């Protein structure tokens, strides 16, 4: 036990595991790139997708770099003001988190846009080979995300604990999560606007007006649509879950250091535990990826079963590791139970999301059937399904929170979030697999490959829709738990004000707290409105461009002339970069503005209207509102998408039928729900919470009144 509890040895273990993870990602990358990319036509299409994705990500990262530089300067300026009690090392942690998050997203996109064509070619051999290539590309990003987060946190935490006091160390470490979230919010919003503008524009004109199939090479928006799958659902998702993963560990480290329900003599063990749980999750997740296999002519149930086998095996292995680590560190069964509750909660949220979105279950089948009544009925039923689907994940989070708090206090909430995200090494792989399979189907269609190939890629794509929806459910649930843990860490950090009881800092009847709740509940709706409008505006431009090309370029519909794909790529890129700024800045600015007003008003009349209570209320209100709104949007969008796919597979008239046209409208409404606004809300609540935690040293000087 002495070896385990020694912090230096633990950091060595974490660093070694991180290197193993990065080595495995490199091995998987080499294996994927060694696969056959297919014929010349397939390679040409793949390179066009690569070019568009690279151009967008380069422009996006240049724009984000301006924000990173600005925030870094602000943090450095604050650190030289003695009254702020902020460490200059916070700026270093912020830059490190931003770089790691950006690299994680880039790695995922890099391999995805090269694995797509190889998946298509592999599907021409067998269904299992197609699954292997697509899933292997997902493991590249998943292990990179986990390994980079662990690597950054372990190096910074080792350096800070040897340089600063324990309280200053965890306060500076929060900057790492802030940097990761700052990248994630723009990557998610920008990528989401891009992908859904292209997707909606392509569907509205191509499917609904022109009556041509999805991914038809005659559609000028097809390449932009395929590019969008990668920059939104791969690069954006990678940065999103990188931040969740890192922030959950940071929250646990903070609460272990500041108390949070642990005895003082358990501080070191409490710091070590989340790092070792995450390390175990990384190594076990790598092992579990080898369990994902299927056979030819597998049904959707069998394909889902192959992915479940990997996720469930990893969950069982991590559960055993949690028990052994908790006992070895002598933290008691309370901490073990709290962590296991989070692990079980993540699995349950994934299952319930699958139930409401997969076309193998009743809800989506009923939604498909309702398409026979027209587009209006599909939209109404889809919204109702999304609202109803919030019950299960909300109750799971409620139970996990109650169990974790009863078992280990506020620290229990944080390790529950760590437990929920411990399976990220494989759950993220199942999510990143989806866009690759989707692209593979598009390449098969545009390359006019045999019907058998398209049948296999359609099966993989349908599975990808379900895994993407399940992944979003997991991301939402983990975001809620992570934000809750960060809020707990923030409130605990405010004990610097001298409050004797940090468990109850605010009078719930205080008008400032109540108004903060209202403002927090409003934020997700305002944020969603901005992102939905951005998709609508960009999609309108795509629609106009596609119509123009159909009208002005002779021979497109006959296949005699090639459309101008780059025009649509350019429209999506310009619109996404320009319109991602306001929602992203809103998320960063709100907690800072409230904190500044609380500090300014502490000695005057303004303090009667705005105080720390307002900021706490805003954090709580936004968490509750965003969690349910995000679940509703993601599940409704996933169900609409799979209902359309279910009809396209030959049910209720199949492709081109009235039911199919109605389902396409539902899917069009659901696209920005599930791929732009819904997922972006995850990052909103985490960004609000991590910004509050970073500026906690400033607010700790503001007395509660």
Q: Is 490 a domain residue?
A: yes
Give per-residue burial for 241-262: e unless 16+ CB within 10 Å, then b.
Answer: bbbbbbbbbbbbbbbbbbbbbb
Q: For 204-330, where are the E strands, in sequence order?
A: none
Token pair, residue 324, equals 């052994």
pLDDT at 504: 45
Query: What is the extent of the structural domain holding 191?
Result: 2-293+420-699
Helix (H) or strand (E) holding 388: helix 375-388
pLDDT-derived band of residue 131, with 50, 70 and 90 as boundaries? Answer: confident
Most confident residue range from 240-254, 394-408, 458-472: 394-408
Report which of residues 536 and 632 the model is more confident about.
Answer: 632
Whole-number average pLDDT of the chain: 85
Residue 158 within a domain: yes
Tell me: the pLDDT tens digits for 153-180?
Answer: 999 988 888 888 888 888 889 899 889 8
At residue 501, the pLDDT reads 40
Q: How many CA atoms lie within 13 A of 529 on its CB side?
A: 6
- Would you say residue 558 lies in a domain? yes
Interatomic CA distance for residues 232 and 580, integer angstroms: 12
Q: Reply yes or no on whether the pLDDT at 291 is more than 90.
A: no
Tell me whether residue 333 is in a domain: no
pTM for the full predicted model? 0.87
Considering its fold, how many domains does the chain have in total? 1
Residue 8: predicted pLDDT? 63
Q: Please, are residues 53 and 227 in contact by the beta-carbon 8 Å criterion?
A: yes
Inside any domain, residue 313: no
Tell whether the model's pLDDT for residue 96 goes beyond 90: yes
Average pLDDT over residues 651-658: 87
Which pLDDT band holds residue 595 (cuts at 50, 70, 90)?
A: confident
Cα gap 473→462, rounded to integer Å: 17
Tens digit of each residue's pLDDT (9 = 90 or more) over 40-58: 889 988 888 888 888 888 8
Rounded Cα distance, 334 and 83, in Å: 39
Q: What is the pLDDT of residue 700?
A: 67
| Residue 404 counted as domain residue | no
Which residue is associated with the tokens 């049910």?
A: 651
Give mean pLDDT, residues 131-135. Answer: 89
What pLDDT does 498 receive?
37
pLDDT at position 94: 94
Distance (Å, rounded) from C-alpha 51 to C-alpha 574? 15
Looking at residue 505, its pLDDT comes to 61
pLDDT tens, position by position, 662-704: 998 898 888 889 888 888 888 888 889 888 888 888 776 544 4
Determine contact, residues 231/451, Cβ cutoff 8 Å: no
């Amino acid at each position: 036990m002495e070896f385990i509890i020694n912090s230096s040895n633990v950091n060595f273990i974490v660093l070694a595991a991180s290197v193993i993870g990065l080595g495995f990602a490199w091995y998987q990358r080499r294996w994927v790139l060694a696969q056959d990319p297919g014929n010349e036509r397939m390679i040409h299409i793949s390179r066009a997708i690569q070019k568009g994705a690279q151009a967008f990500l380069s422009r996006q990262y240049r724009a984000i770099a301006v924000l990173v530089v600005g925030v870094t300067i602000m943090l450095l300026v604050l650190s030289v003001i003695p009254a702020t009690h902020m460490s200059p090392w916070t700026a270093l942690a912020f830059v490190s988190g931003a770089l790691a998050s950006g690299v994680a997203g880039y790695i995922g996109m890099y391999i995805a846009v090269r694995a797509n064509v190889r998946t298509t070619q592999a599907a021409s051999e067998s269904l299992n080979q197609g699954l292997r290539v697509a899933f292997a590309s997902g493991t590249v990003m998943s292990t990179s995300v986990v390994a980079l987060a662990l690597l950054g946190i372990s190096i910074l935490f080792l350096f800070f604990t040897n340089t600063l006091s324990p309280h200053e160390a965890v306060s500076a470490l929060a900057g790492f999560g802030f940097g990761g979230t700052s990248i994630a919010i723009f990557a998610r919003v920008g990528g989401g606007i891009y992908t859904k503008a292209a997707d909606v524009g392509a569907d509205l004109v191509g499917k609904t007006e022109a009556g041509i199939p999805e991914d038809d090479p005659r559609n000028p928006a097809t390449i932009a649509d395929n590019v969008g799958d990668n920059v939104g659902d791969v690069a954006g998702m990678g940065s999103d879950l990188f931040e969740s993963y890192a922030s959950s560990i940071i929250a646990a480290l903070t609460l272990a250091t500041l108390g949070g329900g642990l005895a003082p003599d358990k501080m070191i063990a409490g710091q070590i535990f989340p790092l070792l749980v995450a390390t175990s999750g990384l190594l076990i997740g790598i092992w579990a990826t080898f369990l994902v296999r299927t056979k030819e002519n597998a049904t959707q149930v069998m394909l889902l079963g192959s992915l479940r086998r990997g996720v469930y095996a990893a969950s069982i292995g991590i559960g055993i590791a949690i028990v052994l680590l908790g006992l070895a560190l002598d933290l008691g069964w309370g901490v073990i139970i709290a962590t296991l509750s989070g692990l079980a909660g993540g699995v349950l949220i994934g299952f319930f999301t699958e139930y409401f979105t997969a076309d193998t279950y009743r809800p989506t089948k009923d939604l498909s059937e309702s398409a026979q009544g027209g587009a209006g009925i599909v939209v109404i039923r889809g919204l109702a399904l999304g609202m109803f689907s919030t019950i299960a994940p909300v109750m799971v989070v409620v139970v996990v929170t109650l169990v974790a708090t009863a078992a280990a206090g506020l620290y229990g909430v944080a390790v529950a979030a760590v437990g929920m995200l411990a399976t990220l090494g494989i759950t993220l792989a199942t999510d990143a697999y989806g866009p690759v399979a989707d692209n593979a189907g598009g390449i098969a269609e545009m390359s006019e490959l045999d019907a058998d190939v398209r049948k296999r890629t359609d099966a993989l794509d349908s599975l990808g829709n379900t895994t993407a929806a399940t992944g979003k459910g997991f991301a939402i649930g983990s975001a809620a738990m992570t934000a809750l843990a960060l809020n707990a860490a923030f409130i605990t950090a405010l004990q610097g004000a001298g409050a004797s009881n940090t468990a109850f800092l605010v009078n719930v009847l205080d008008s400032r707290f109540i108004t903060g709740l209202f403002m927090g509940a409003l934020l997700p709706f305002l944020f969603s409105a901005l992102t939905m409008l951005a998709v609508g505006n960009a999609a309108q431009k795509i629609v106009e461009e596609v119509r123009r090309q159909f009208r002005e370029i002779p021979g497109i519909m006959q296949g005699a002339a090639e459309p101008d794909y780059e025009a649509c790529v350019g429209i999506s890129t310009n619109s996404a970069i320009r319109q991602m700024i306001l929602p992203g800045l809103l998320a960063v600015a709100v907690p800072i503005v409230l904190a500044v007003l609380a500090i300014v008003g502490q000695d005057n009349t303004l303090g009667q209207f705005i105080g720390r209570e307002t900021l706490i209320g805003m954090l709580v209100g936004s968490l509750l509102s965003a969690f349910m709104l995000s679940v509703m949007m993601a599940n409704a969008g996933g169900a609409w998408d799979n209902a359309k796919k279910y009809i396209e597979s030959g049910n209720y008239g199949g492709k081109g039928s009235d039911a199919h046209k109605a389902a396409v409208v539902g899917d069009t409404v659901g696209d920005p729900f599930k791929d732009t606004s819904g997922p972006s809300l995850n990052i909103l609540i985490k960004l609000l919470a991590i910004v509050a935690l970073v500026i906690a040293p400033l607010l700790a000087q503001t007395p509660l009144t």
